Amino acid sequence: MKVAMTVNGTLESHDVEARTLLVDYLRNVVGLTGTNIGCDTTSCGACTVLLNGQSVKSCTVLAAQAAGDDITTIEGLALEDGRLNPVQQAFQECHGLQCGYCTPGMVMAITSLLTENPHPTEEDVRVGLEGNLCRCTGYHNIVASALAASGVVEMHQ
């Protein structure tokens, strides 16, 4: 079936099987491999992207369900001149990543969280990231990155 959606501001239109998952569509059809697959069972959040601005686990959405919608992946966050967006910048400055596998999903989940709640407390961030796992268990610096990006706390250098 024909599926068309906006991905990072570009209109994409492709013929895919109805059963194609959004994450596979993004990675294999559109060719954006920044979104990772971790558990493939809606548990880890590695595959998190924004669907009309809200975080979703793209391993549990059909590409067909997202037809006509607006998708943002990790590739779509950097500013036009190539500079990192504030959440990405905060991850770099606060050492928010170790192996980096969970990072795209974490960054997307935090972007969604900060859109809904621009000034979260540490508790809000921890609860808001309950759907994202980091197997390097670097949660402390991930939370610090989110808070830094929110402008609530000074950035730790």
Partner 1 sequence: MIPASFDYVRAESVDEAIGLLSEHGDDAKLLAGGHSLLPLMKLRLAQPAMLIDIGHLRELSYVKEEKGYVCVGALTRHHDLANSLVARASAPVLAHVAGQIGDPQVRHRGTIGGSIAHGDPASDLPAALLALGGSLVVQGPNGIREIDANDFFLSFFEVALTPEEVLIEVRVPRSEGQWGFEKLTKRAMDWAIVGALAVRTSNGVGVALINMGPVPMHARAVEAALASGANASDAAQHAAEGTEPSADFNGSVAYRRHVAKVLVGRALKTAGV
Ligand X SMILES: Cc1cc2nc3c(=O)[nH]c(=O)nc-3n(C[C@H](O)[C@H](O)[C@H](O)COP(=O)(O)OP(=O)(O)OC[C@H]3O[C@@H](n4cnc5c(N)ncnc54)[C@H](O)[C@@H]3O)c2cc1C
Contact at 8 Å (CB) between 49 and 43? no
Rounded Cα–Cα distance for residues 24 and 33 (Å): 9
Say whether residue 104 binds ligand FES (CB under 6 A): no
Contact at 8 Å (CB) between 146 and 110? yes
Q: Among 2-10, 26-34, 118-126, 132-140, which window interacts with ligand FES (CB under 6 A)?
A: 132-140
With CB cut-offs between 5 and 8 Å by kind, which of partner 1, ligand FES, ligand X, none does residue 134 bind? ligand FES
Tokens read off for 70 = 């607006």
The residues in 52-91 that bind ligand X, with binding defined as CB under 6 A, are 60
Least CB distance from residue 13 to ligand X, whole Å? 25
Least CB distance from residue 57 to ligand X, whole Å? 7
Rounded Cα–Cα distance for residues 28 and 94 (Å): 32
What residue ranges bind ligand X (CB under 6 A)?
A: 42-43, 60
